[in-house]
Amino acid sequence: MSSGRGLTGREASVPPERLYWAVLDASSLPRQPFASRALWNRRLGYLFEAVLPVPIESVHAVFVPLGGGTVLACGMERASLREVAEGAISLRPESLPPFVPPTADASSLNLLTREFEPPAIRRARACTTLVTAASLVLCSLLLVVGFANRTRAWNALAFDAERAEHEAYASVLGDATGQSGQPAPLRLVSELRQLRRTRAEPSRESRPTDVAPDLASLLAAWPRDLRARTETLSVTAAGATLTVWLPGQPEAERLIESMRAAEGWSLAQPSLSRSSEGMTVRLQLTRSSTMVEHGAVP
Amino acid sequence: MAILVAAASSVALFGLAWSRASDAVSRANAAALRLASVREDADEVRHLRAREERIAVSERPSHDVIARVGGSLAEVGLPESRLKSVTPVSDRGAAGSGSAHRVQSVRIVLEPMTLAELGPLLRIWRREHSLWTTSGVELNTASRGRDPEEAYRVTITVSAVYLADAGRGVQK
């Protein structure tokens, strides 16, 4: 005979009269989710012992749940079992006694378990266990190697990015630490803040008035070929003041008219003083509201 | 039991590898984000450095102005001896900017200068020293002659805006 798993050996059976039978009420036994099967069997063994004519230690028992908290117990004296089991790979009752509920299956009862388990089955199970464990470890190793490769790649990416970051700092800050001893990120932020503040155009209110274009516009309005000598010329944010010597009245009037026409300026009443050598004209100009700043200078 | 040990070992190995991979991914992501941010900041720093300084970091000393005037005179082709004096005039809080900015003004006296020399000098000054705005120009005849091309004593007032909190350093 042979088993379905390729094991060679005898599949033996015994008449039910040679076995001890009982239907046990196991509903009173404590159910512990993580309790071992051996402990469960020992507890059932104590229940079974109550109906046995011999001590439980001399009987090898197997248990099959029947449902509803009942368990079918089947036992055989150890000495007899050793004789019957010799060379067999399984030992089952030929049939079930009549008091056993019909839901029980005689083929599910195998008495060659635990210490009576045949060496061939034990070896086969050990082999299966080993192959399963080895497969598990191998799969894990493959996964670990895959992760290790990925990790190496990501670390390389991080390293490259960190090196590029250092290069970026060095490209704008020069040496790595700097004289201040501050870390590069702080130095970069500090420099950026300072640059943002110093490269921005000052507000119109805080920016000083540039008078160079005003001077240019005044000189652009100056009449050509006018014989005159500018004694003082002052241009400030408030306006412009000129003191000019001219040889006579016509030259003075020409200058006044030209300054009156100067773009962006309003001329106040001129002040004239005569002398034996000519005339001195004092002109005061203020910016008109429509004056537009332009880029030309004298 | 062997399967349990194998499973436990596998789980432990897998957990370790997963943890290391997860750390590596986090590190790589963080490094990439930092790099992008640093590159952006570095580009902005380069861009801003290329622009002219419009507001000084701190109050500028007089010798800075002397050096600038000397450079501009040389560029126009005038001797440095035309520069007679550089005098600080005022240092006040800038209008309309709260306490953020201050304005310092310096008076530069040049003599002798003709109008033909003054024009190019002011043009160069405006082009190259935009930090210093020409806030006042005063011309006085240096002598009582009648020559229209005669030389003047030129007083130029230049003003620069600087950060009012320069002494406190840059705050993060």
Q: Is the pLDDT of residue A294 over 80?
A: no
Which residue in the block uniquely carries the two structure tokens 């100056």? A222
> What six digits make up the tokens of A179?
């004289």
8 Å CB contact of B20 and A144: no
Of B24, B56, B119, the CB nearest to A158: B24
8 Å CB contact of A200 and B10: no
CB A170 within 8 A of CB B38: no
Q: Which DSSP helix (H) or strand (E) runs through A244?
A: strand A240-246
CB B157 within 8 A of CB B136: yes
8 Å CB contact of B123 and A297: yes
pLDDT tens digits along B21-72: 999 999 999 999 999 999 999 999 999 999 888 888 888 888 889 999 999 9
CB A243 within 8 A of CB A232: yes
CA A105-A110-A111 angle, 5° bins:
130
CB B57 within 8 A of CB B160: no
Whether chain A has a CB inside 8 Å of the CB on B56: the answer is yes
Sign of the torsion formed by the C-alpha atoms of B83, B89, B90 and B91: positive
Compute CA B78 distance to the chain's CA centroid, rounded to the nearest angstrom: 27
Chain A residues 141-160 with CB within 8 Å of chain B: 141, 143-144, 147-148, 150-152, 154-155, 157-159
> What six digits make up the tokens of A217?
């516009």
pLDDT tens digits along B67-105: 999 999 999 999 999 999 999 998 888 776 566 888 999
Tell me how close the Cα of A157 comes to any Cα of chain B, in angstroms: 6
Pairwise CA distance, residues A78 & B90, whole Å: 117
Indicate the length of chain A as a whole number.
Answer: 298
- Cα–Cα distances in Å, from A213 out to A218, A290, B135? 9, 14, 11
ipTM: 0.76
Q: Phi-psi region for residue A124, left (φ > 0), alpha (ψ -120 to 50) or beta?
A: alpha
Pairwise CA distance, residues A78 & B138, whole Å: 129
pLDDT tens digits along A140-196: 889 889 999 999 999 999 999 999 999 999 999 886 555 667 888 999 999 999 999
Dihedrals φ, ψ of B146, to 5°?
A: -110, 10
Of B21, B41, B103, the CB nearest to A151: B21
Whether chain B has a CB inside 8 Å of the CB on A209: the answer is yes
Which residue in the block uniquely carries the two structure tokens 């003083």? A273
Residue A289's pLDDT band (boundaries 50, 70, 90)? Answer: low
Q: Is the pLDDT of residue B170 over 60?
A: no
Whole-prediction pTM: 0.62
DSSP state of A213: H
Amino acid identity for residue B136 in this structure:
G
Compute CA B85 distance to the chain's CA centroid, rounded to the nearest angstrom: 25
Tell me how close the Cα of A76 comes to any Cα of chain B, in angstroms: 29
Pairwise CA distance, residues A135 & A131, whole Å: 6
CB A186 within 8 A of CB B172: yes
Of A133, A195, A200, the CB nearest to B6: A133
